[in-house]
């Protein structure tokens, strides 16, 4: 068996006979070590929605703890389904699933309109069923995701996550008095420094676990600074399996369902983009069938979620960055992370331990993770041809359009809710714009010619190989005439479209002609100057 390129000699990793990197098996111990790193990377993101929604409905601490445990439990099961897969369900890629943050605004809006937690669960359930029914349509978008589109989407994913890292660095809670304190930002900087140093000077294993070690070391540093609090770890239940319908039966309201369905469309778009992104990073083949299987797993998980007191599920983009930066592409590592999430969901005490990691520590690691995603997208865009096409305009417009709601979050606040819900996501905005522009400029044909404008990159000058082979060292081209290093003029013979030689462009003088003088053939219509 061959070694994986990700191993670099640090440990043996077997790959199946087809050589797909996502099927690499690292062993139980290493799989769970890397899986824990995935869990710690996305832990803050997966517990944020239940905390926000719980506070919005005025839930007590025990109810919020139940919501958190439920989201961890379902997120773990969804991750296992997505990464391990069963027939027709799961992309079988290293893709972490969890509670989608995209639905938070809609869920809090439902509560603001005198809705209940049960109405939220009903909307999630019904909208997920509708989303499941349309997944075959979404699976066909692979045709409209050439490298120019995937590169834009991957770059937008990374760039749109930078504000998330920034908020974590500042403490995560804008209402807190120490939000953005020098101590917190400094702690994030120390964590970032630790990650970089371990990535550079550590052994193969240490380098790949740099993020995990960075989180641990950063948390240890935070304790004497008073920025880490473990006092509440044992304040709740030690063991608790989420109870189905713990808050009562779901309620179904048309307006809430429609609003949530719009969110589901966003989630499908983002998950499809994440599947393509992780496929690009791992070098795995991604086709419409694989996307369809991944989206079905996404929607089935979202359908089950409200039964167990959780919300919509989607792929976590930050974990795509972890795959890129560690080079560990095994889906079984992610599946191990899913098992850890299930355990955390059944053992809230362990979840509270992970939850005690300070936000600035997560933010410091997030800079590397999210930046890596953007860099992966830039690498993809570097492979795109910009000659005699409108790809430069597609990239420029789509990225700028995607960053608008990132840098100006209220830009669509006066628009209808459905519009704001869709385009409030920088990922969705960039993806939609890139797909539309790619269709307009690269799929549809206008006037039978190529699209050109002032922004199109100028083609470089080139000379055919067979033309260069006719030249010798010292040949000089001056004033439309070609001379050898001895000063003799070399005839340039024009060749028509059939390859037949016609007249010479320049006839050398008799005193400079030698019996075996060379000729250079020039294609018909080309000029010597």
Measured between alpha carbons, how far apart are the two ends of the chain, in Å? 60
Residue 529 exposure: Cα atoms within 13 Å on the Cβ side? 6
Give the pair of three-digit tokens for residue 390. Answer: 């409108």
Between CA 504 and CA 200 the distance in angstroms is 63
**pLDDT beyond 60 at 456:** no
Asked whether 61 and 89 are in contact (CB, 8 A), the reply is: no
Cα–Cα nearest to 218, from 189, 196, 239: 189
Give the span between the Cα atoms of 146 and 364, in whole angstroms: 33
Contacts of 146 (CB under 8 A, 6+ apart): 438, 442
Give the residue with greater pLDDT, 50 vs 297.
297
Q: Token digits for 313?
A: 């599920």
20-32 pLDDT, tens digit each: 777 778 888 888 8
Q: How do 492-495 and 520-523 pair as beta strands? A: parallel
Most confident range, picked from 140-154, 386-400, 407-421, 427-441: 386-400
pLDDT for res 51: 74
Residue 419, pLDDT > 70, answer: yes
Q: SS in 3 state form for 496-511? A: CCCCCEEEECCCCCHH
Handedness of CA 355, 360, 361, 363 (dihedral sign): positive
* Res. 451: pLDDT tops 70: no
Alpha-carbon distance 182 to 283, whole Å? 41
Residue that wins the pLDDT comparison between 139 and 455? 139
User: What number of other Cβ atoms are within 10 A of residue 529's Cβ?
Assistant: 8
Residue 293 and residue 88: Cα distance in Å, rounded? 5
Average pLDDT for the chain: 77
d(CA 220, CA 202) in angstroms, rounded, equals: 19
Question: Confidence class of residue 2 from pLDDT cuts 50, 70 and 90?
Answer: very low
| Phi and psi at residue 98, to the nearest 5° | -170, 180
pLDDT band at 477 (very low <50, low <70, confident <90, very high): confident
Q: What is the mean pLDDT of residues 385-410?
A: 89
Which whole-number Å values give the CA distances from 35 to 137, 208, 281, 309, 461, in the listed order? 32, 12, 18, 25, 50
Please state, in angstroms and rounded to a whole number, the distance separating the CA atoms of residues 331 and 294: 13
What's the number of CA atoms in the CB half-sphere (13 Å) around residue 337? 30
Backbone angles phi, psi at 355, to 5 degrees: -70, -15
3-state secondary structure of 373: helix
Predicted confidence at residue 165, as pLDDT, reads: 82
> What pLDDT sits at residue 302?
93
pLDDT, position 129: 94
Instruction: Name the helix (H) or strand (E) containing 99.
Output: strand 97-99
**By the 8 A CB rule, do 95 and 335 touch?**
no
Of the listed ranges 184-193, 390-399, 416-425, 429-438, the one predicted with least confidence: 416-425
Taking each continuous run of H as one helix and of E as one strand, the counts in the chain are 19, 8
pLDDT digits (tens, 9 = 90+) for 141-156: 666 778 888 788 778 8
What is the rounded CA–CA span in Å between residue 13 and residue 299? 33
Measuring CA to CA, which residue among 82, 69, 486, 6 is closest to residue 300? 82
The 10s digit of each residue's pLDDT in 188-222 is 999 999 888 888 776 666 676 677 788 888 888 98
- The predicted-structure confidence for 222-271, as pLDDT tens digits, reads as follows 888 888 777 777 776 777 778 888 888 988 888 788 878 877 887 887 78
Contact 453, 482 (CB under 8 A): no
């Amino acid at each position: 068996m061959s070694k994986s390129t990700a191993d670099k000699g640090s440990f043996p990793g077997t790959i199946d006979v087809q050589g797909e990197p996502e099927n690499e098996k690292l062993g139980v111990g290493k799989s769970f070590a890397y899986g824990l790193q995935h869990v710690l990377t996305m832990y803050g993101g997966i517990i944020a929605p239940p905390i926000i929604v719980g506070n919005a409905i005025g839930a007590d601490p025990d109810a919020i703890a139940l919501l958190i445990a439920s989201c961890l439990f379902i997120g773990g099961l969804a991750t296992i389904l997505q990464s391990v897969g069963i027939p027709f369900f799961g992309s079988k890629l290293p893709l972490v699933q969890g509670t989608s943050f995209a639905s938070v605004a809609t869920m809090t809006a439902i509560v603001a309109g005198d809705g209940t937690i049960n109405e939220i669960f009903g909307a999630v359930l019904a909208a997920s069923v509708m989303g499941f029914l349309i997944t075959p349509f979404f699976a066909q978008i692979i045709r409209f995701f050439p490298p120019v589109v995937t590169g834009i989407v991957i770059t937008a994913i990374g760039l749109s996550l930078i504000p998330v890292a920034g908020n974590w660095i500042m403490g995560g809670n804008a209402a807190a008095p120490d939000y953005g304190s020098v101590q917190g930002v400094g702690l994030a900087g120390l964590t970032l420094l630790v990650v970089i140093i371990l990535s550079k000077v550590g052994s193969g294993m240490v380098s790949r676990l740099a993020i995990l070690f960075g989180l641990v070391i950063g948390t240890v540093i935070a304790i004497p600074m008073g920025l880490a609090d473990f006092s509440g770890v044992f304040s709740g239940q030690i063991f608790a399996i989420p109870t189905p319908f713990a808050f009562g039966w779901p309620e179904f309201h048309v307006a809430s369902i429609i609003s949530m369905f719009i969110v589901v469309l966003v989630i499908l778009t983002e998950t499809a983009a994440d599947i393509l992104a992780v496929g690009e990073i791992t070098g795995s083949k991604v086709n419409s069938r694989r996307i369809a299987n991944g989206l079905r797993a996404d929607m089935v998980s979202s359908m089950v979620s409200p039964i167990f007191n959780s919300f919509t599920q989607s792929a976590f983009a930050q974990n795509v960055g972890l795959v890129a930066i560690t080079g560990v592409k095994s889906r079984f590592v992610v599946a191990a992370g899913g098992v850890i999430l299930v355990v955390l969901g059944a053992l809230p005490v362990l979840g509270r331990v992970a939850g005690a990691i300070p936000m600035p520590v997560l933010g410091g690691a997030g800079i590397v993770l999210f930046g890596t995603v953007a860099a992966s997208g830039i690498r993809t865009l570097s492979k795109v041809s910009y000659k005699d096409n409108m790809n430069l305009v597609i990239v420029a417009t789509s990225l700028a359009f995607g960053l608008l709601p990132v840098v100006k979050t209220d830009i669509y606040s006066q628009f209808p809710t459905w519009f704001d819900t869709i385009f409030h996501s920088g990922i969705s905005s960039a993806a939609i714009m890139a797909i539309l522009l790619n269709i307009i400029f690269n799929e549809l044909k206008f006037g039978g010619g190529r699209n050109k404008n002032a922004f199109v990159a100028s083609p470089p000058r080139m000379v055919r190989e067979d033309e260069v082979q006719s030249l010798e060292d010292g040949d000089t081209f001056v004033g439309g005439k070609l001379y050898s290093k001895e000063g003799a003029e070399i005839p340039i013979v024009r060749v028509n479209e059939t390859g037949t030689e016609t007249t010479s462009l320049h006839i050398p003088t008799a005193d400079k002609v030698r019996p075996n003088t060379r000729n250079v053939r020039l294609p018909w219509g080309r000029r010597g100057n």
